[in-house]
Chain A
Amino acid sequence: MRLIEALGLDLKIFIAQLVNFSILIFVLWRFAYKPVFKILEERRQKIAKGLEDSDESAKKLAQAEEEKKEIVSLARKEANEIIEEAKGRAETRYQEIVDKAKGDLKIVIDDEKEKIRAERNYAIKEVKKEAEQMIADALLKIFPEKANEASDAKMIEKALEDLK
């Protein structure tokens, strides 16, 4: 008993401290330890997620790069093809146009030739006619009495024919 007194033990204080300490443990657990663990876990997860996301985005970036390259090369190839094709088509078209122009020219030339020929024929005919007339007139002047128009014309014609 004297020891208890000397040490200052007091039942009421003992109980008060016991109760208060229990409350303190509960309060610290509820308001300090648990929230800290929760937030640490949350942060850990967030960091893990962030790292994962960054990995993912890096992967995606690489993939996009790859895709870009592929697309560019494909586009280039396609463009080349298109250019090649266009060139080919232009070539044929050019050929066509040239051919057509040549054809057209030929037709025009032929036409012109035909016209010229016709003109010439006409001119020749005209000249012949004129010449016949002139010759007949001349002959008539030279031999006025022997003029037989019909036979003369035949003769002139024959003569002209021989002239040719």
Chain B
Amino acid sequence: MGLNISLAPEVLFHIGSFTVTNTYFWFFCLWLFLVVGAIIFKSRIKLMPGKFQNLVEMAISGAYDFTESIIGPGKKAERAFPLVATMFFFILISNLLAYIPGQAAITINTSGGIVPLFRSIVADYGFVFMMTISVVILIQIIAIATSGPFAYIGKFINLRSPLKAFLGIMDLIGEIAKIVSLSFRLFGNIFAGEVLAAVMLFLAPFFVPLPFMFLGLLTAVVQAFVFSVLTLVFISMASEVSPEKATA
């Protein structure tokens, strides 16, 4: 048996014209779990917390404190928090899901051949791309709302001097680069981790993959953190009226 590594997520089945890939399947499962979990959680929340509520409270308030420490307290943190925290928790949980043992062995027989049922959600570029493009578009909206449309355009197209024109083009490239760097950083790390684990498992099934799995576990946490913190930093930068923008 050969090692089958696919960059794209494997197609599980079709609902009408809608293609369900294995990552989308798990995306939906996790989504459903979180939505239902949140609703149940809300109905059971108490002033005297149980163990689980304590854990959730700690995670959420810790995340909020961290958000405040980066973007500053007040309205900004309050607005950015839901997006950033949801991204963080979602990426973290989906990364950690990959470490439930045994799931890699489950495959299903589809029209496109035998495909694994499970694939880490983040190891699908489509999902990461969706989040990244949303973040980048959001950043542009925030920047326009903060410094006004003319200042925003003026940041990229500036004909007052050749240097400023050049810097404007660099800024434009920088914005596009954000999409690529942000998305491929997350996707690349997780996908590479998966591939590495698969290769190691293929070459030496016992003990040897363990260190790589631990590394992958570290990556899972760190990348979830990095992605949300970078998002936060981008939002924070876009929402500040810098003197550069003000004079542009």
Q: Contact residues of A with B, CB < 8 Å? A: 5-10, 12-14, 16-18, 20-21, 23-33, 35-37, 39-40, 42-43, 46
Contacts and interface: CB of A to CB of B under 8 A. Distances in A.
B85 A33 contact: yes
5 contacts: A13-B126, A14-B129, A27-B34, A32-B41, A35-B41
Interface of B: 6-9, 17-19, 21, 24, 27-28, 31, 34-35, 38-39, 41-42, 45-47, 49, 56-57, 60-61, 64, 81-83, 85-86, 89-90, 124-127, 129-131, 134
Contacts, number: 111
A21 B130 contact: yes
Contact of B31 (A24, A31, A33, A36): A24
Q: Please list the 7 inter-chain residue pairs (A to B) with the smallest Cβ-Cβ separation, ordered nearest first.
A: A8-B8, A31-B38, A29-B82, A31-B42, A7-B125, A32-B38, A25-B86
Contact of B85 (A5, A6, A28): A28
Contacts of B64: 33, 37
A8 B124 contact: yes
Contacts of B90: 21, 24
A12 B17 CA distance: 9
Contacts of B31: 20-21, 23-24
B24 to A, nearest CB: 5
B35 A27 contact: yes
Given A7-B7, A10-B21, A31-B42, A24 B35 contact: yes
Given A8-B124, A8-B126, A33-B85, A17 B38 contact: no
B94 to A, nearest CB: 12
Nearest to A43: B47
Nearest to A39: B45
Contacts of B124: 8
